[in-house]
Structures are given as structure tokens and as C-alpha cells.
Amino acid sequence: MGKTSLITGATSGIGAAIASELLGRSDADDVIWLNYGHNDEAAEAFVREAPGEKRGQLRLLKADLSSYKEMCRMAEELKRNMEGLDRLVLNTGISLKEPFEEYDYEQWNRVLETNLSIPAFLVRELLPVMREGGSILFTGSYAGQQAYSSSVVYGVSKAGVHFLAKSLVKVLEPKKIRVNAIAPGFIQTPWHESRTEESRQRIERKIALHRFGTPGEVAQMACAILENEYMNGSVTDIHGGYDYF
């Protein structure tokens, strides 16, 4: 039987790279569901640009995962259309540009809901279709390992994601489902599009490898963790040696 995967936030950046890496490693009867929230054009382009012989294995699934209601609707649609799920990658995430002193309560909650609460409940909704021996991977962040005053609520939400991954290990033990998280540092994706050159250079000086990571480098590690049958309850950093001075 082929393996079925779902990746949220799968049509750009890290999610798209994980989707490409999984597709490259896939067998012909594997299926990969790609969730995205808004940009139909980017989603369709991603599928169009996939290798022709593998394109038919991809399924697009639009749902705004900042909304609990939309997440539930997506989970219902998936349950109707799949027999079982082997791999679940919870990758959607948002941040705020404002400093802590300027957030309002709604903004704080929106980040926590999108990054932590909705992914947690998506896992719960999909548990009935998760197959024994399945694998779950959360995209956390190095900002959830190390506290930064410039991204307070984001860091808090990602620290929560890391702890959620560990906390689910015993919950999912009966079905032998493994749960892990990755904690990337600065990765070159549209997320950093509006960053000034000065800000980029300041960050690069703090990275021992003096460059941002590529989505492909993160995806290789993500897929290795998804596939490795002894990885469970781990949060794995990937940041090129950030702040090791």
C-alpha cells in the first residue's frame, strides 16, 4: 500500500521544499496532500512545476489554518477522501512585526492559535485516520529554543510547539506513531522578503556559516527525521551555528 502524507503550508518556502523532497523519495502509489491558505497561483505553479511523472501524486487542499472552523472543515474533507495517513507535517506559522509593547491581545492570540492550538487540534482530528507506525513532524523554530525580545509571542508559540511534540509521544505510543519537531534558524524563504540588507548582514555575521539556510537543507533533515524509525520526541536544531560566539 502506498504512503499518504499531509503537509500544511506546503506551497512556499520550507513546506514546499519538504513536499518536493518527499515527492522525490516517493513510490508511484504514494500520495501527498498539500495544504495552503491563500495563494492559488503559487499552489498551482508548485504542482505544475513538479516532475511530470510524479505530478499526479499531489493533491492541493486550500484551507486557512488560522481558523479553527476551517481546520475542522479540512480535516473532515481529508477523512472522507483518504483511507489512512502515514505522515503529517504541521508547518504553517505566522509572526508579528510589532514589538511586544505594541501587540494587542487579539494579535497575541492569533499567533498562538495559528502556530500552536490549531496544529494541536489538527493532530487530534486526524488521529483516527493516522496509520500505526506513522510519523508526525512539527516545524518549530530556533526562536522557540532561545528567547529573543524581537519575537516574543512567536518564540513562545514555537517553544509550545516543541513541548507539544514531546508531550504527544506517550499519547501516541499505542499506535507507535512517532512525533518530532525541527527548529530552524534563519532560512531563505519569502518570510524574509521585506528584511533590509543591513538586517540580513547583521544576522549573517552571527551565523558561523555566514549565510541563511536553504529550504532544501531543512527539507532533507525533515524527511530524514520523518523516515527514521528511531527518531521520537526530539527537537532538532538547524541553524548553521547561530550565536555560537
Ligand X SMILES: NC(=O)c1ccc[n+]([C@@H]2O[C@H](COP(=O)([O-])OP(=O)(O)OC[C@H]3O[C@@H](n4cnc5c(N)ncnc54)[C@H](OP(=O)(O)O)[C@@H]3O)[C@@H](O)[C@H]2O)c1
Q: Find the shortest distance in angstroms from Cβ 29 to ligand X.
A: 25
Q: Is residue 93 at the binding interface for ligand X, with CB under 6 A as the rule?
A: yes
- Which 153-182 positions form the footprint of ligand X (CB under 6 A)? none
The H or E element spanning position 149 is none
End-to-end alpha carbon distance in the chain: 49
Q: Is residue 134 at the binding interface for ligand X, with CB under 6 A as the rule?
A: no
Q: Find the shortest distance in angstroms from Cβ 90 to ligand X.
A: 8
Q: Which of 5, 32, 37, 57 binds ligand X (CB under 6 A)?
A: 37
Q: Which of 186, 232, 240, 242 binds ligand X (CB under 6 A)?
A: 186
Q: Which of 3, 15, 23, 155 binds ligand X (CB under 6 A)?
A: 15
Q: In degrees rounded to 5, what are phi and psi of residue 237? A: -75, 150
* β-pair type (85-90, 58-62): unpaired
Among 23-31, 60-68, 120-128, 201-209, which window interacts with ligand X (CB under 6 A)? 60-68
Q: 4 to each of 30, 101, 135, 153, 154, how far by Cα in Å?
A: 6, 43, 11, 33, 30
Q: Find the shortest distance in angstroms from Cβ 182 to ligand X.
A: 8
Which is nearest to 29 in space by CA: 62, 50, 45, 5?
5
Q: What's the rounded Cα separation, in Å, for the pair 181 and 91?
A: 10
Q: Is residue 189 at the binding interface for ligand X, with CB under 6 A as the rule?
A: yes
Q: Find the shortest distance in angstroms from Cβ 183 to ligand X.
A: 7
Q: Is residue 242 at the binding interface for ligand X, with CB under 6 A as the rule?
A: no
| DSSP assignment of 175-212 | GT-EEEEEEE-SB-SGGGTT--HHHHHHHHHHBTTSSP
**Number of chain positions touching ligand X (CB under 6 A):** 27
Which is nearest to 96 in space by CA: 109, 83, 80?
109
Binding site for ligand X (CB under 6 A): 9-15, 35-39, 42, 64-66, 91-93, 139, 141, 184, 186-187, 189-191
